[in-house]
Amino acid sequence: MTEGPSSPRRGNWYLLTAALIGLGLGLIYAWVLSPVRYVDATPASLRADFKDQYRLLIASSYIATGDLGRAQARLALLKDADPAQALNAQAQRLLLAGDPNHASTVLIMLAEAIQPGTVSPTPASFPLPVSTVTRPAETATGATPIAISSPILRPSVTPIAISSPILRPSATPIAVSSPILHQSATPTSTPGEPFVVTKQEKVCDPSLASGLLQVDVRDAAGRGVPGVEILITWNGGQQQFFTGFKPQLGDGYADFTMTPGIVYNLQLAKNSAQVTGLSAPTCPGQAGTTYIGGLHLVFEQP
């Protein structure tokens, strides 16, 4: 014999059933049939590749106008934890993808400009590619962006001379931290003979970060070569970094923080032999103590 909800023998389970059905229907309506629609999105909610495009446009606009305050305000809309680092990271991705349009340069210039305490040249004083446009789908896969670029020359703006005192880094070095800034728009390695290691020395300077591996890449004339890709590998990992991202230390300078006890192999991505067996050395400190020092490698073209 069947019993309806009015049957007293059913207890209150039907109420729970009703609640669950109602809840389910409500969620289906709220999440599927009529979800909350965001029509007033903020730049921070953009998809990552659109954010890259937005960031690049901010940098291009900064190059065009030189208005750093406005660029900073716009960058703040993206809510990146570290806008300079986000710019550098995007530039790094572009460089790794080949960056045929040198869009990384504008990103790096803006990153340099927003770094506190850095001397940055007036952007519009340099002939630089303005911008590139990337199709979202292509950007997402790291493919080559389509681009139309043209130089900006604003002769009315006086270039600021960059004095480059030789500074040794005191902050914690990372593979990419501070941006490149060059008079030449395209960071390229000098074609020619393979680079050879002309100096490999232990650096015992307690003011430097522990395990700092400093690399200088120079051409045959002894000039620093920016934009040289360096590949460092160790047991279970590898990393790429580029010269020229710390222009205050030289166009051909790059550094990497070694973990004590790990042995690294390093070579320039193109045109160099591999340097093996690199590890953070132990240096004598005061009163018989020791500390972790660093290494300095110099690559030169013969």
Q: Is 156 in the site for other proteins (CB under 8 A)?
A: no
Q: Residues touching other proteins: how many (CB under 8 A)?
A: 58
Q: Name the one range near other proteins by CB under 8 A: 33-41, 174-182, 195-203, 285-293.
A: 33-41
Contact 59, 106 (CB under 8 A): yes
Q: Name the one range near other proteins by CB under 8 A: 37-45, 164-172, 173-181, 254-262.
A: 37-45
Contact 215, 177 (CB under 8 A): no
Structure tokens, 6: 């009015």
Q: How far is the CB of 22 from other proteins (least distance, A)?
A: 2
Q: Is 6 in the site for other proteins (CB under 8 A)?
A: yes
Structure tokens, 284: 């004598």
- The distance from CA 26 to its chain's CA centroid, rounded to whole angstroms, is 44
Q: How far is the CB of 199 from other proteins (least distance, A)?
A: 43
Q: Is 225 in the site for other proteins (CB under 8 A)?
A: no
Give the CA count within 13 Å in the CB-facing half-sphere of 162: 22
Q: Is 127 in the site for other proteins (CB under 8 A)?
A: no
Q: Is 61 in the site for other proteins (CB under 8 A)?
A: yes
- Residues recorded for the chain: 302
Q: How far is the CB of 96 from other proteins (least distance, A)?
A: 23
Q: Is 22 in the site for other proteins (CB under 8 A)?
A: yes
Q: Across the strands, what pairs with 268? A: 230
Q: How far is the CB of 285 from other proteins (least distance, A)?
A: 49
Q: Which of 2, 9, 36, 137 binds other proteins (CB under 8 A)?
A: 36
Contact 128, 105 (CB under 8 A): yes
Q: Is 76 in the site for other proteins (CB under 8 A)?
A: no
Q: Which is nearer to other proteins, 10 or 270 (CB)?
A: 10
Q: How far is the CB of 139 from other proteins (least distance, A)?
A: 11
Q: Which residue has tokens 């030449």?
A: 184
* Burial profile 212-233: b = 16 or more Cβ within 10 angstroms, e = fewer: bbbbbbbbeeeebbbbbbbbbb
Q: Is 93 in the site for other proteins (CB under 8 A)?
A: no
Contact 234, 265 (CB under 8 A): yes
Rounded to 5 degrees, what are φ and ψ at 64? -70, -35
CA 240 to each of CA 116, 133, 209, 228: distance values in angstroms, whole numbers, following the listed order: 26, 26, 20, 10
DSSP H or E stretch at residue 5: none
Q: Which of 2, 35, 141, 156 binds other proteins (CB under 8 A)?
A: 35
- Residues in contact with other proteins by CB under 8 A are 4-7, 10, 14-15, 17-31, 35-36, 38-43, 45-48, 50, 53-54, 57-58, 60-61, 63-65, 74, 77, 124, 130-131, 133, 136, 146, 148-152, 154
